[in-house]
Amino acid sequence: MGLLTRHRCFLQALAAGLLAAFFCRWLDTPLPWLIGPLFASAALRIAGVDLRCPVAARAAGQWAIGTVLGLYFTPAVLAVVAARAGYIAGAVTFALALGCLCAWLLKRLADVSAATAFFSMALGGASEMAVQGERHGAVAQHVAAAQGVRLMFVVSFLPFVLRYWSGHGMPPLAAATAVATQPPPGSVAALGIGASATAEPLLAFGLLACVTCAAGWLLYKRGVPNAWVLGPLFGAGLLAAAQVPAGSVPEWMVRTGQLCIGLSLGTRFTPGFLHAAPRFMAAVAACTAAALGLAALFGLLLAKLGGLHPATALLATSPGGIAEMALTARALHVEVPVVTAFHVCRMVVLVLAVGPAYRRLVRM
């Protein structure tokens, strides 16, 4: 009976997500296959409807997105990303400082423990921050709710702003950075390999699927956060960097991946979400808005100093997640690999450093 209930709840979530995605496409919103399911499932969950997104569906969605992102990392693109290494390091340092500042602000506004405030505002993976926060005495439910609000806030705001700006005066991409905006190669001819070496499409996709699934499974077994994004991303990136004819991911899989990620984010919200700790949630919203504003200022400064395109810099330094910000970059045709590299480095450093950083701050 429990299995039937889980399937029914997922099918309901899937139906709601699809309807919302088509509605957002009709409205011509950015990222309709992500934003529509996210808002629809969150609203229905808060209203008391029992919706669920299985872990396997979320992992499948992450696999599709991670694989697509990895295919961007051709040798020419890697050279562009390597040239941005110093700016990536600066952005990671800024993300650590921004998390600490917002944690201090949240503690003052919401009167919560230092651990709860710190891990609620740390710009890492939502699940990982909740787990690490619980180890250090934070209220895990508060941390998870705060991280969910942060992701939803960024996804619901930044794509619309950049979409509007791109049509109203955003400067065009320079020729030097245009290489990093090209879509991932859909054929081996795009990799500079002769037609005689072209593999059958199904065999090429089979190779891509095997390598990326193996990489995701390996990271998952080792307990790496966001394993089903990072593993396929690294696996597909290695194939692209080595110019192996590995095919491409069909667009319908990319849309399905966005749908699953949107549902997984939206179904995290609970019926009592708006009534649980209202002061804390209001403070989280205020701190998230402050973080988004400060990150935008830092991104524009980075764009001016480092010669980055403004949209690239804003997405790269935003307090969003890897998949969501990279998908926004893909939709706006800006430097997807650069945005991805910024967020991957930030997440890896934060996951490794957030625990020691919190203990050091407590001692201080």
Render pLDDT for 314-344 as a digit per residue (tens, 0 to 9): 999 998 888 888 888 888 888 888 898 898 8
Residues 6+ apart with CB under 8 A from 352: none
Specify burial of residue 306 (Cβ count, 10 A radius: 0-12, 13-18, 19+).
middle
Token pair 């505002």 is at which residue? 121
pLDDT in tens, 155-187: 888 888 888 887 766 776 654 455 555 555 543
* pLDDT band, very low/low/confident/very high, at 98 (cuts 50, 70, 90): very high
Spatial separation of the C-alpha atoms in residues 15 and 314, rounded to whole Å: 33
The residue-averaged pLDDT of 84-90 equals 88
* pLDDT band, very low/low/confident/very high, at 136 (cuts 50, 70, 90): confident
How large a percentage of the chain has pLDDT more than 70? 87
* pLDDT band, very low/low/confident/very high, at 63 (cuts 50, 70, 90): very high
State the alpha helices, DSSP H only, in the chain.
2-27, 32-46, 55-70, 75-83, 85-110, 114-121, 126-135, 140-166, 201-221, 227-241, 251-266, 278-306, 310-317, 322-332, 336-363
Tokens of 289: 């808005």
User: Per-residue pLDDT for 225 more than 80?
Assistant: no
User: Per-residue pLDDT for 293 more than 90?
Assistant: yes
Q: Are 19 and 33 in contact (CB under 8 A)?
A: no
Q: Are 184 and 248 in contact (CB under 8 A)?
A: yes
Specify the amino acid at residue 244.
V
- Identify which of 53, 48, 54, 18 has the alpha carbon closest to the alpha carbon of residue 36: 18
Q: Are 20 and 266 in contact (CB under 8 A)?
A: no
Stated length of the chain:
364
The residue-averaged pLDDT of 51-80 equals 87
Q: Are 7 and 1 in contact (CB under 8 A)?
A: no
- pLDDT value of position 127: 65
Residue 268 φ/ψ, nearest 5 degrees: -70, -25
**pTM of the full predicted structure?**
0.78
Tokens of 340: 């991805």
Spatial separation of the C-alpha atoms in residues 45 and 270, rounded to whole Å: 6
Higher pLDDT, 195 or 271: 271
Q: Are 142 and 277 in contact (CB under 8 A)?
A: yes
pLDDT in tens, 7-27: 888 999 999 999 999 999 998
pLDDT in tens, 27-50: 888 888 988 898 899 889 888 888
Q: Are 119 and 138 in contact (CB under 8 A)?
A: yes
- At what angle are helices 126-135 and 140-166 packed, to 10 degrees? 150
Spatial separation of the C-alpha atoms in residues 46 and 273, rounded to whole Å: 6
Write the DSSP assignment of 8-40 as a string of letters: HHHHHHHHHHHHHHHHHHHHT-SSHHHHHHHHH
The residue-averaged pLDDT of 290-301 equals 94
DSSP 284: H
Three-state SS for 100-126 is: HHHHHHHHHHHCCCHHHHHHHHCCCCH
- pLDDT value of position 188: 38
